[in-house]
Amino acid sequence: MLQTTSPTEARIPHADGVTAEEFRAALARLAAGVVLVTAHDPDDGPRGEDVGMTATAFLSVSLDPPLVMVSVRNDSRMEELLARQPLWAVSLLAESQRQIAGRFAMKGRLSDRLLFEDLPHDRGELSGSPLVRGALAVLECRTEQRVVAGDHTLFIGRVLKAAASTTESGPLTYFRGRYRHLS
């Protein structure tokens, strides 16, 4: 009898066999840091508009050169803006900043203007993007590469400026579908 697959290949389930629910449940077991990604859209209105999104798919890519990556849902306001605006910022949220993460994770909002209105922030010197006060660290980035990956786009950014706070606060994390803090 002619065998078309090796015994090892026969035991490995094909990716098409994984349901969205199974995938989501498995990856919910991965703890992730929570960040607020921001950018300034100079073309939206007379003074422009700030855009923000909560992300847990954020990581360091390279030390030399300093690169980070964030995964952004395709067809979102942030994806559309970062496709044409190369400068953006990231605020690594502290455990006390759970409310900020929740505000910017809301789907279907019309404008971010109100979300930034009472948010204590400074404007990035290089990116012009909002940087959250009290964050554990803030980064200003310039997109170096975009990679479409399924229903998301990966934005790889060169870190142009970085600052870490002196706070002893722990990071805000996301685990099993909820915001958490380290204890």
pLDDT for res 112? 82
Contact 129, 138 (CB under 8 A): no
Around Cβ 35, how many Cβ atoms within 10 Å?
30
Backbone angles phi, psi at 30, to 5 degrees: -95, 115
Q: Which two three-digit tokens encode residue 34?
A: 């929570």
Dihedral over Cα of 102, 115, 139, 122: its sign: negative
pTM score, whole prediction: 0.87
**How confident is the model over 162-171, as a mean pLDDT?**
92
pLDDT digits (tens, 9 = 90+) for 104-130: 998 776 678 888 988 999 999 999 999
pLDDT digits (tens, 9 = 90+) for 98-111: 999 999 998 776 67
Who has greater pLDDT, 41 or 1?
A: 41
pLDDT for res 60? 97
What is the b/e burial string over 141-178, where b = at least 16 CB atoms within 10 angstroms of the residue's CB?
bebbebeeeeebbebbbbbbeeeeeeeeeebbbbeeee
What's the whole-number average pLDDT of the chain?
Answer: 89
Least confident of 37-51, 64-78, 117-131: 37-51
pLDDT digits (tens, 9 = 90+) for 17-38: 788 888 888 888 888 999 999 9
Least confident of 41-55, 61-75, 157-171: 41-55
Least confident of 6-10, 90-94, 133-137: 6-10
Residue 12: Cβ-neighbour burial (10 angstroms; 0-12, 13-18, 19+): exposed
Around Cβ 182, how many Cβ atoms within 10 Å?
9
pLDDT for res 4? 46
| In 42-177, beta strands by DSSP E | 49-55, 58-62, 67-73, 87-92, 121-123, 130-132, 137-149, 152-164, 172-175
